[in-house]
Amino acid sequence: MTKNNILTKMKMPFCQGCGHGIIVRSIAKALEQLGYGKNDTIIVSDIGCSGLVDPLFDTHSIHGLHGRAPALGVGVSLGLDNPNKKVIVIQGDGGVTIGLQHVLEAARRNIDITLVVMNNLLYGMTGGQISGLSTQKFKEQRHFEVDVPPFDIVKLAHVSGAAYSARATSIKTYTDVMKDAIEVNGFSIVEFSSLCTSYAFKKLDQLQEVIEPPEVFKNERIPVRVHHRDTKSLFDKLDVIDKHFDSKIDSRLGVILAGSAGGGVQSAAKMLATAGMLSGLHATMKGEYPVTVGTGFSVAEVILSRSYVNYTGLEKPDVVIIVSEDGLNKIKGKIKDNDILIIDSSLKTDDFPDAIYVDFNRKAGKRGAALAALAYWMKKSGLMDIESLKKAVSSHKYSRILLDAINAGLEI
């Protein structure tokens, strides 16, 4: 391990007087004093005030969903399987409340991560609501849920099997307690008391009156380790796509297909990407549609390139094909003056006077319009052999229907 400064020079983003900054510095000091460098450390953060830590650490970092940071940390730790690397998961008391099962599972399995809980007794980013870790004394002051006991995350983690569980309440001890937690071989958790000056208290002595006392619990356990075994690669199951056709695409081309759910947009885009590979090109496809899947827009972005494609998605498409109003409304902001724009004639508008308007829906139906439009563009541009698209659909279970859509586009 190499020693480096763990923190960046960025100013702390927390409210004036917030205790989170003290905790961040304590984490960094502990790591540095133990010899962990920026390349040895992975910070996994949560949503909320605690989630503002990402740019503060000059390390590897992952920003998770609310309450799910421990689950991400588990995956990172098991994937690394390296005792010389340290995974630090950072949550607030709200995140712990929302994702409590993730904490308990990590403790039960004794995964080698350190979970830092910044407990300011409330949801600080959304207005100061009570959390599951708000202490009884604090709730009594707020006259809220006085008959509902809080979780004691330190004891819960301990009885769940954590190798090390601690609560630290004095800032003078924070770095030392953090060092103890980091050095543990297995799951460790530290709950740090943090002052919220916006929604709780202005002074530390007020906070000290309502928090639980410091505690330390230990379980002598061996952490879970990954058992490696040789298996066949998932890529072995994939068919190799050899070059059968030529293409006039000399560098890189980006195509956006936009339509409605159920309109075959994603299938058409997949066939275009396959046709590209059959033509000796590198290809990527990125699909986007609502959670409802069966309603709303459906958009796909395809990149065809002579060189390797390092990422999916298009900021600036070269060709835009739109076959429904849902698709038009979704991507109209991406359309530029110099794009090749092909739109179904039912959507004709003065906003795009230079577009090519063709009645794809009438010629090929709702489910075939996107594929017909692709075939129309391929024939019109001459950049790809239409036979590559036909071969791409030939192995599909609905190949005859798809070929009919292609032929409808070619007849226009």
Find the CATH number of the domain harbouring 156.
3.40.50.970
Least Cα distance to 77 among 228, 233, 223 occurs for: 223
22: pLDDT strictly greater than 50: yes
Considering the domain boundaries, does residue 47 fall inside one? yes
DSSP 8-class letter at 366: H
Residues 212 and 241 in one domain: no
Q: Name the token pair of 14.
A: 């927390």
- Do 368 and 399 have their domain in common? yes
- Considering the domain architecture, whether residues 132 and 31 belong to the same structural domain is answered as yes
Residues 282, 404, single domain; the answer is yes
My answer on whether 70 and 202 are in the same domain is yes
- Condensed to tens digits (0 to 9), the pLDDT of residues 54-88 reads 999 999 999 999 999 999 999 999 999 998 999 99
On the question of pLDDT at 222 being above 60, the answer is: yes
Task: Give 1's pLDDT tier (boundaries 50, 70, 90).
Answer: very low
| Residue 293 confidence (pLDDT) | 64
Instruction: Map tokens 């070929």 to a residue.
Output: 403
178 and 93 belong to one structural domain: yes
Instruction: Give the C-alpha separation, 53 to 245, whole Å.
Output: 51
What is the DSSP secondary-structure string of 261-299? TTSSHHHHHHHHHHHHHHTT-EEEEEEE--TTSSSSEEE
284 and 378 share a domain? Answer: yes
Q: What is the mean pLDDT of residues 262-270?
A: 95
CATH of the domain at 276: 3.40.920.10
- Domain extent, residue 246, equals 235-411
Q: Which helix (H) or strand (E) holds 62?
A: strand 60-63
Is residue 51 assigned to a domain?
A: yes
- pLDDT tens digits, one per residue of 8-17: 999 999 999 9
**Counting beta carbons within 10 angstroms of the beta carbon of residue 265, is it exposed (0 to 12), middle (13 to 18) or buried (19 or more)?**
buried
Give just the sign of the alpha carbon dihedral 130, 134, 136, 140. negative
CA end-to-end span of the chain: 66
Number of compact structural domains in the chain: 2
pLDDT in tens, 93-114: 999 999 999 999 999 999 999 9
